[in-house]
Amino acid sequence: MLETSAEHGGDVDVQNQGYSGAAYTWVITSIDSALAGADAQTVVGPPGSAEHASLAQVIREGRWFRLVDTYGIARYGGFIVGDCAGDEPLRDYGHKRGCARIEYEDW
């Protein structure tokens, strides 16, 4: 089941017990290869933050999301951990790259 947070939309609870560091950390772990070309890489955010959770911690404890464009095509996927509303990866990263919403997978 996917929960959707539309552009600056509803809150999604992604708090994780035992998290320390910046308020939240997200990581983009998959990128649509047609968009990325040879520049595909793992991206960690939020941008400009001095502290991030470790990559292993974000993947181990985080919640999986995907960033979707206006046509409903998933362009990026990743994980988020920490105290956040849920749409931070969309605001921090996705909007600038043509994404319109964020969806979360409930395992």
Domain boundaries, the chain: 2-105
* pLDDT score at 105: 82
User: In terms of DSSP bridges, do strands 2-6 and 24-31 run parallel, antiparallel, or are they unpaired?
Assistant: unpaired
Q: In Å, how far are 22, 34, 50, 52, 73 from 105, measured between CA atoms?
A: 23, 23, 28, 22, 15
Q: What's the pTM? A: 0.71
Residue (of 37, 46, 102, 95) closest to 74 by Cα position? 102
pLDDT of residue 30: 77
Average pLDDT over residues 76-92: 92
Q: How many residues does the chain have?
A: 107
Q: Which two tokens stand for residue 40?
A: 């595909």
**pLDDT reading at 76 higher than 50:** yes
pLDDT-based confidence at residue 40 (cuts at 50, 70, 90): low
Q: Considering the chain, what percentage of its residues have pLDDT values greater than 70?
A: 68
